[in-house]
Structure 1
Amino acid sequence: METILIVGGGAGGLELATKLGRKLGKTRQAQIILVDRNTSHIWKPLLHEVASGSLDTSTDGVAYSAHGAKHCFEFQQGQMTGLDPDSRCIHLAPILDENNRVVVPPRSLAYDKLVLAVGSVSNDFGTPGVAEHCYFLDSPAQAAKFHRSLINSFVRVNQPGEQQDLHIAIVGGGATGVELSAELYHVAALARRYGLPRISAERLKISLLEAGPSLLPALPGRISDAVRRELVKLGVEVLENTRVASAVENGFFTQDERTIRADLMVWAAGVKAPDFIRETGVFELNRLQQIIVTPQLQAKGHPDIFVIGDCCGCQQEDGSWVPPRAQSAHQMASLVAGNLQRQRQNKPMKPYVYKDHGSLVNLSRYSTVGNLMGNLTGNSLFIEGRIARFVYISLYRMHQVAIHGWRKGMLMILVEQLNRAVRPKLKLH
């Protein structure tokens, strides 16, 4: 029986494992194995809500093992550290417990077809002090770590007689930095209801640093301008054309010799494929360490290895690279699922063509703005407010339906709404 090994359980990897499990795993045409270092899945665009405490991973996550049992694929926990394409196997690091004792020793997994969907990590560009002093939001564990520090900071500021406000500096004016800025004001306002009466949005001082001339540089100027206005209205100090030179324990130094004081620092500027991809020495990479692929999303020179999602370096006809977005990963997962089945049937594989359906930025409960690409006219439609918020939420609902199916997806959405009605709106533990 052919073994299809999928490394990475993000938006693309989990959708692909589910599709192949339903098609090939259920009928025992192939063994589908999903590998991820975590035990559960959280949609990456929601990690800023995990960081702020408005999303609880214990109730909103998808357990890989349980999901695999239902959808006919196998889950193995592990972190990929190496690859041997000649013997067709990957190498996994040992699994350790909280006391650094070995639970599972290093091991290797064999494959007939390999799909790499390992996502991306933040790119600190080698800036001194960033790795030591900044929080990152690349995984649920990192988001939870920031959340614990945020709650501890709220408790400190809430003490009687404490006069200092809470200063948070966020580097990166992309979607993560922008959405986190707004979400933090929302949770600061909520904190009053949950035993922290001296916390308020007024005691939160957020600085958002962007090296370029505008926020959200990949999106149209009208969206960037609208987002900037909303953030300034909330109280965010938006610092464009501000490049960080170094980070220290209590803030940033900029290249124009300014000091940005901060109690908590978040780095959300730039992405790259994980370093182990480069360290394997197997693939041809672009400047973001993404694996360069053929039009059919096969790694160049390695027809048995497919690549999807943020780690995929797919160049379009106009010379631009497919952007690392959730919609890209979703489209790639669908194409590779089809191409793997076409291969089995000795049919020609289809090339990948990126379809940009637009982008939306959610500013917590305050606003949502974005653009939708018209399929008929090819024009971009600017939307904001409640309509934009509805479309933004619908993107996540579509992801839920893609991995659970319509019936269970709708039931999960209903349960989620009931949970939101009865549980606290802010996680304080």
Structure 2
Amino acid sequence: MKIALLGCGTVGSSVVQLLHEQAADLTARVGAPLELAGIAVRRPGRERPDLPVDPKLFTADALGLVKRDDVDVVIEVVGGIEPARTWLLEALGAGKSVVTANKALLAEDGAVLHDAAAQSGADLFYEASVAGAIPLLRPLRESLHGDRVTRVTGIVNGTTNFILSAMDATGQSFTEALEEATALGYAEADPTADVEGFDAAAKAAILASLAFHTRVTAADVHREGITDVTATDVASAKAMGCVIKLLCIASRVDDAVSVRVHPAMIPRTHPLAGVVDAFNAVYVEAEAAGQLMFYGRGAGGAPTASAVLGDLVAVARNRLTGSRAAKESAYADLRVRPIGEEITRYHVCLDVADRAGVLASVAGVFARHGVSIATVNQAGRGDAAVLVIVTHRAPDAALAATVAELRSLDAVKAVASVLRVEGDQP
């Protein structure tokens, strides 16, 4: 079986190492040797002494490599939309199976890739696109195919989880925790995709598509990042018996699905609350199976390469036997509902003037929008007065409208922070 590898960075290099180190085992599992036909990189002449491959395998012509007649399977670990989309559509159009870790492309153009695979009879596998080494997508796609998944809640970005874990453990600010994450290699030089939630939103779209048999794109996902989470928010969460996590939440209610990514307070008793550092975890709820938890390393060269190799074995076996995996399941075609229809709770921190009638005016705003207040705490006096309000469950649109009106009150100097509260009330 001839393999074309597109990309040889952190993940691609680990794929090459595993192919070399486990060659005998992989041959036994597949039923035929797996051989690299070529490796597409930007600088093919660069020395790579640590990689156990012939330097002649490296090429800058990725499309030419994909088009070669002797290539059976294409592995793509470059990322991004283009030129990866062109390469993979070329491969699938020619009937070549594809293994990819490209979450951004799948979240934007997964439907196009699936259609191309269906038309040519090729396999399209992408376990490595979400949660690294954690076996997650295949259970959703196959093991739970006889059940109805109702909700998927996950921590799927290691960078943000490290930052929020550090803030919780040490009282650091967001900026300080980000600097530590960067120094340790958990955060990229430009961390925007992680800290603003773009990475998690792409993964949420993929999870929702599989869980609910509905095509969901990144554009369907409500997205908020963690840059506005403060040390005060973290301390307030602690006082409530909660911890703050960047969650991806996909849920099914009747004939619609909701998909969102945002920071939220969850009780410390929740299974996801103990997931710290750069680890990932996904909590799946299904009608018959009940509650399932998937946990492990969600990023890094070796963990992600492990998932890639798992997919490679599967598609190589299918190709050898003349079979193929099940096609995309998008029969449900459920409506994706906006965030405003979601039922949730808010934690609102207000900087207010310390004078008579302030609490009554604030409470009146909540009442006008039909939002019930669960708890109110006031700290400080004079110019430093702070109101911390936690609501009961209400439609997100009503909660957002409440916050918008609070900003216009004379007695409210600032809405210092707004966070959703998920899970059972602590």
TM-score under structure 2 length normalisation: 0.25
TM-score under structure 1 length normalisation: 0.25
Whichever of the two has the greater Rg, that structure is 2
